[in-house]
Amino acid sequence: MATHDSSTGDGFVPFFRRYAKSWVHAVAAAGMTAFGTLTIVHRGFAVLALASYVVPPIVLYVLEPSTDRSNGDTAADRRRDTATDATDERATEAGTAPLERTETEGDTEAAATTEPENEEGTEPSRAPGSATTVSKEQRRNADPATDRETAADRAPQAERSRRWELVDVPTETTLRDVCVTETGAVYAVGDDGQVLAAGPGDGDSAEGEWTVVLEDGPAAEGENLSGVDATAGGEVVWIAGDSGAVGRLEADTGRHTDYSAPAGITDNWPGVAVAGPNGDETILLINGSGEVLRGRYRDDECSWDEPVTPGSGSSLSGIALADASIGYCCDTNDAVFETTDGGDSFDRIGPVGAGGTLENLATLGRGDCLVSADDGVVHRYGGSTWTPERVGEEAICGIARREGETIVCDADGVIHERVEAEWEEVDTRAPESLLAVSVDADGERAVAVGEDGTVAERW
C-alpha cells in the first residue's frame, strides 16, 4: 500500500477541507446522526455512529494517492496553467504582450521578461548571450500578440478625441442653431440677432476663442436668428431668422451683407440650408406656412425664386442639403419631402409614422435621411421605409450626421452619439436645453448649443 506523499503539497487538513464539501461527508454525517439516535435503544449504536463518521475520510485519504499519482501532477499542472493564463490576461489588459515561453536545448522553460523602453523606442541593451536590441516596430512585426499593445496604446488618445466639455462663450442669449464648417470653424446664431464664431483652434484642448461677430442681426434690428449653414468650403455662412432676416457672412473678412425680406417675404425663417462652393451658392429657406424659398448667389448677386409648398401647408421644421441637388425637409404633420433638383421641386416620402412631432433632420445624400421627433425617437429612411429608433424620452431638437456617426441633443441637455448602430449617452450633460448640434466631416470637432448661451464642444 502506498503512503501519502507529502511532497505533493497535500496534507490531511487540506484533504479534509475538500472532503467536507463532498457528498460522502454528507452521507457520513447523516449516518452518524441516525446511529446516534438509536443509542436510546442500545448503547452499542454509539460505536457505529462514531465509525460511520470517522472511517470514510480515513479510508479515502489513504486510498486517494494510490489510485493515480498522475492525477496530482495533472491538478498541479492545471493550477500552473491557470496562474499563467491569469498573468497573460492581466498583461493584455495592461497593454503589454504576455510573457513568452522559450525552450533551451535542455528543454528548460524560461519566461522572457520585458524591460522598459528608452526614449528612442528600443529596448535597452541586454546581458551577453541575450537577444539583440529590437525596435518597437520590429517587435510588432515579429509577434502578433503585440497588436493588443498597439490597440491599447491608441485607446487613450481615441478617448481624449471624443471628450465633450461645456465651454464659456461671451453671451447668455439662447443659441438656436450651430454650424461647424469644413475648416473646423464654428458659427452659432441666437436671440436678439447675435452671431457667435470660433476659429478652428489647434485641436489640443478647447478650440479657437469664441467671439461675437454680429450683435444685432444682418439688418441691425435685433431679430431672433434660428438658422445657420455654410458653403461647401466653409468660406461663406448664411444666417436666417424672424421677420424675414437673412444675411451672408464672409468667414475670412467678417464682412456681412443683408439680404433680409428675400422676394419681399418677411415671414419668420426657422431654418436655412446651403450648398455649393463660394460664389456658386444655393440657399433654401423654410417658413411656418410650409413654404420653401430658393435663392441662387452668382456673380455677387442673389436672386430668389417663387416659394414652393411641398406639402399641405403645415409648418416646416427642418431642412438640409447634402449637395447642390439632393436635400430633404420635414414638417410638423409627419411628412418628409425630398428634392433632387436643389429645391426647385419636392417629392413626398412620408408619412414617417412618428408618435411625436418632427423636429429636425440630417442627410448624407439621396436615400439617406434621419429625422428626429419630440418624443425621443429618431426615424431612419432607407430609400422606401422609415425605421424608428428610440434614443431617449425628451424632445430631440438637434441632429447632425457624418459618415459613420450620428449625434443628437435633446431638451434635457443630453447628447447621444450613434456609432456602429448603437446609441450612447455622453458623460457631459448641459444644465439647459440643447437645441442644435453640428459636426464636421472628419468628426474632429462637434458642437452643441442651447438655452442661456450653453455650448458643449467635443474634440
- Classify burial at 113, counting beta carbons within 10 Å of its beta carbon; exposed 0-12, middle 13-18, buried 19 or more: exposed
User: What are the contacts of 72-81 at 24+ separation with CB within 8 A?
Assistant: 72/5, 72/8, 72/10, 76/8, 76/9
* Predicted local distance difference test score (pLDDT) of residue 74: 41
CB 154 within 8 A of CB 147: no
The cell for 248 is: 451672408
Q: Would you call 340 helix, strand, or coil by DSSP?
A: coil
* Predicted local distance difference test score (pLDDT) of residue 27: 76
- Classify burial at 17, counting beta carbons within 10 Å of its beta carbon; exposed 0-12, middle 13-18, buried 19 or more: exposed
Q: Would you call 79 helix, strand, or coil by DSSP?
A: helix
Name residue, grid cell 423636429: 359
The cell for 313 is: 401647408
CB 406 within 8 A of CB 424: no
* Predicted local distance difference test score (pLDDT) of residue 13: 60
CB 328 within 8 A of CB 275: no
Measured CA to CA, the distance from residue 194 to residue 274 in angstroms comes to 20
Residue 14: what are its φ and ψ, rounded to 5°?
-60, -35
**pLDDT tens, residue order, the chain (459 aa):** 433 343 334 466 666 666 665 777 777 777 788 777 888 888 787 888 788 888 887 887 777 544 343 444 444 444 444 444 444 444 444 443 333 333 334 443 433 334 444 444 443 333 333 333 333 334 334 443 333 333 333 333 344 346 999 999 999 999 999 999 999 999 999 999 999 999 986 545 445 799 999 999 999 999 999 999 999 999 999 999 999 999 999 999 999 999 999 999 999 999 999 999 999 999 999 999 999 999 999 999 999 999 999 999 999 999 999 999 999 999 999 999 999 999 999 999 989 999 999 999 999 999 999 999 999 999 999 888 999 999 999 999 999 999 999 999 999 999 999 998 899 999 999 999 999 999 999 999 999 999 999 999 997
**Greatest Cα-to-Cα distance within the chain, rounded to the nearest angstrom:** 120
CB 437 within 8 A of CB 400: yes
Q: For domain 168-458, give its CATH number from 3.40.605.10, 3.50.50.60, 2.130.10.10, 3.30.450.40.
A: 2.130.10.10
Q: Would you call 385 helix, strand, or coil by DSSP?
A: coil
Q: Would you call 317 helix, strand, or coil by DSSP?
A: strand
- SS3 sequence of 131-186: CCCCEHHHHHHHCCCHHHHHHHHHHHHHHHCCCEEEECCCCCCCEEEEEECCCCCE
CB 280 within 8 A of CB 303: no
Helix 12-20 with 23-37: angle, nearest 10 deg: 80
Q: Would you call 122 helix, strand, or coil by DSSP?
A: strand
CB 236 within 8 A of CB 278: yes
Name residue, grid cell 444666417: 239
Closest CA to 244 of 217, 209, 275, 281: 217
Cα torsion 427, 430, 436, 438: sign: negative
Where in the chain are the domains?
10-93, 168-458
Q: How far apart are the first and last CA of the chain?
A: 75
**CA distances to 95, 115, 306, 343, 446 from 88, in Å:** 11, 16, 71, 60, 39
HSE (CB half, 13 Å, CA atoms) of 311? 26
Eight-class DSSP state of 7 = G
DSSP 395-457: -EEEEEEETTEEEEEETTS-EEEEETTEEEE-S---SS-EEEEEE-TTSS-EEEEEGGG-EEE
